[in-house]
Chains A and B, each alone.
Chain A
């Protein structure tokens, strides 16, 4: 199970479709950090619309991934958390998901672009305005 990584200018989009096994998760994380480094990505949006169970294991995988990406200097936004997943996560333990969240992919992209612009990163080379 390999997760496709889509690229939009210097932003990467990934969508987690199923629960990842330990091996899938490691593969995904190494693929992603490699791509982030290769294109010097400025932001990454992680979409979890398709996940209907986010247990503490998946929460850790998502958090770890977000932290790795941040360490490389890119911004991260998680998007598409299902309402029932959100309810469950809060009930389980506040702050289980440590990254910033957006409603959907569109919003996540806006958030990323806003942040990239704010931190004054001139490396952004998109043709559309930021």
Chain B
């Protein structure tokens, strides 16, 4: 499920700076969201930023599960230089699903091929500072960064 997400592990920097959750069920979605929030709080993000990140993680993980049948979500610290302070947190959602035929349409508020509100991707874009979407018939990768 997750790696290196426990404070009880040896406190090397890397040990606490990345979490990865395999998304195969609804409880994994909740776990991914919670772990992303805890990581954000550990990295010193404000509480409201941590909630933004948790919600964005939940949206991305949910999409991976419902539209691609599973995948993974990773959250990791971003540094401006490997040894320097944390300046951001990156969410990366990856799957080997069918891909998104029309990405621009998928980013439109209210557009959903399922029974959703269609607010997921547009919401992530607004909640986070940077957003990129790569998709092809064999899978989708969404990357979103929040700067501290």
- A residues within 8 Å of B by Cβ? 18-19, 21-22, 52-57, 59-60, 84-85, 87-88, 91-93, 96
Contacts and interface: CB of A to CB of B under 8 A. Distances in A.
30 contacts: A19-B29, A19-B30, A22-B26, A52-B51, A53-B30, A53-B34, A53-B51, A53-B58, A55-B55, A55-B62, A56-B119, A56-B120, A57-B62, A57-B116, A59-B117, A59-B119, A60-B115, A84-B51, A85-B51, A87-B51, A88-B48, A88-B51, A88-B55, A91-B126, A92-B55, A92-B123, A92-B127, A93-B122, A93-B123, A96-B117
B52 interface: yes
B54 A52 contact: yes
A55 B47 contact: no
A41 B48 CA distance: 37
Contacts of B115: 60
A84 B26 CA distance: 23
Interface in B97-123: 109, 115-120, 122-123
B140 interface: no
A88 B127 contact: yes
B26 A55 contact: no
Given A19-B30, A93-B126, A84 B119 contact: no
Contact of A92 (B37, B47, B62, B119): B119
Q: Which bucket holds chain B's interface residue count?
A: 20 to 34
A54 B33 CA distance: 11
Contacts of B54: 52-53
A96 B109 CA distance: 11
A19 B126 CA distance: 22
B55 to A, nearest CB: 5
Given A88-B51, A93-B123, 19 more contacts: A19-B29, A52-B54, A53-B34, A53-B55, A53-B58, A54-B55, A56-B116, A56-B120, A60-B115, A84-B47, A84-B51, A87-B51, A88-B48, A92-B55, A92-B123, A92-B127, A93-B119, A93-B122, A96-B119
